[in-house]
Amino acid sequence: MLDRRHVLTGLIAAPAILTIGRAGAAEVSMRLHHFMAGVSPGHREFLVPWAKKVETESDGRIKIDVFPSMQLGGAPPQLFDQARDGVVDLVWTLPGYTANRFPKIEVFELPFIAAKRAQTNSRAVQDFAAKHLGTEFGDVHPICFWAHDGGLIHSSRPVTRLEDMKNLKLRFPTRLAGEGLRALGASAIGMPVPQVPEAISQRVIDGAVVPWEIVPSIKLQEMVKNHTAFPGTPTFYTSTFVLAMNKARYQSLAPELRAVIDRNSGQVATALVAAMFDNTAPKVEEMARKRGNTIHVLAADEVARWKAACSPVTETWIKSVKEKGIDGDALLAEATALIAKHEQAA
């Protein structure tokens, strides 16, 4: 648990805080902490509007201050515990930042499971969470779960064939994305996304695996010239996310204020964040094209080769979760069915 004195220091020293609410009007003030930059779409187009919506629907009785860029201290992998321990009230984080801690939700992060669109992936993850993740995330009060649109390979050299991946040093966001990259022949290096620009500039990595939404906030389109995309569904990978609240804080709210949070949870919040990803992707892709960057779309027969190379990753995951008493085959079948269901409904 982080030292609260350190957190208070961050509160005083954080100039980029965006305050949601009317001064003096709120009965309940909460802090929402996350790792993305204040200029990122996730901050501006999801977290801030969500917080504003909660304030409006509570008639100003709830105020949420949004702190980007880890301004309250700590590192991104510590965010979940910050919410659990009450260091902050809410966090936006990736379960994958703490490998093996949340094994069930990992099923969506297996190679070539996710859909191309965030709306499909997010609705599937939220449905899955309602049925399967109550225990796994029982230390907090989840507001919503989601997963981004299909991630791309952004690299200093072109990647159009499986052979191009050999020894390519790529940042990976989650354990299973890293395993997938290794299966494809790349040298996978894990790090939180804010560290990517420095790692590329120092040639620690040759690129990164992220969705389009992340690219402008770290100026990745200025650091590499090649972007490799996957046609249709399934795509190479996605990462899952959670917006979580301290459980005691949620339970302490007046019933009518809990109702406001509840109305802005689940699929309602999931749809908001998924739209942000899907609306942002084509804009960022066009931005990259205008810079003269090249977007490579793998051919269908090439994708089949990549899927075959990654199949051992799925087999190993099923075996590893079985040792924890989890039926990986059943979870995989359900995740795949949910993605197909929501893709048809899109």
Same domain? For 247 and 310 the reply is no
Token output for 197? 């620009």
Same domain? For 100 and 203 the reply is no
pLDDT at residue 193 in the model: 86
C-alpha span between 271 and 146 (Å, rounded): 9
pTM of model > 0.75: yes
Q: Which domain does 207 fall in, by range? A: 152-236+283-345
Strand, helix or coil for residue 254: coil
Between helix 118-132 and helix 328-345 the angle, nearest 10°, is 140
Alpha carbon 1 to chain centroid, angstroms: 23
C-alpha span between 127 and 292 (Å, rounded): 40
DSSP letter for each residue of 15-66: TT-EEES-TTT-SEEEEEEESS-TTSHIIIIIIHHHHHHHHHHTTTSEEEEE
Q: Is the peptide bond before 211 cis (omega within 30 degrees of 0)?
A: no
Indicate the number of domains in the chain.
2
- For tokens 């305050």, the residue is 19
Same domain? For 309 and 245 the reply is no
Same domain? For 95 and 220 the reply is no
pLDDT at residue 13 in the model: 37
pLDDT at residue 127 in the model: 98
Same domain? For 246 and 267 the reply is yes
Residue whose C-alpha is closest to residue 234's, from 109, 133, 334: 109
Contacts of 257 (CB under 8 A, 6+ apart): 27, 28, 58, 61, 62
Provide the pairing of β-strand 140-147 with 169-172: unpaired
Same domain? For 52 and 195 the reply is no
- CATH number, domain of 229, equals 3.40.190.170
pLDDT in tens, the chain (346 residues): 444 434 433 433 333 444 444 444 689 999 999 999 999 999 999 999 999 999 999 999 999 999 999 999 999 999 999 999 999 999 999 998 888 899 999 999 999 999 999 999 999 999 999 999 999 999 999 999 999 999 999 999 999 999 999 999 999 989 999 999 999 999 999 988 889 999 999 999 999 999 999 999 899 999 999 999 999 999 999 999 999 999 999 999 999 999 999 999 999 999 999 999 999 999 999 999 999 999 999 999 999 999 999 999 999 999 999 999 999 999 999 999 999 999 998 7
pLDDT at residue 94 in the model: 94
Strand, helix or coil for residue 245: strand
**Which one of 226, 260, 280 terminates a domain?**
280
**What phi and psi, each to the nearest 5 degrees, are found at residue 281?**
-55, -55
Same domain? For 84 and 121 the reply is yes
Strand, helix or coil for residue 227: strand
Same domain? For 128 and 190 the reply is no
Residue whose C-alpha is closest to residue 173's, from 132, 207, 209, 217: 209
Same domain? For 173 and 47 the reply is no
Same domain? For 296 and 214 the reply is yes
Same domain? For 230 and 320 the reply is yes
Same domain? For 188 and 319 the reply is yes
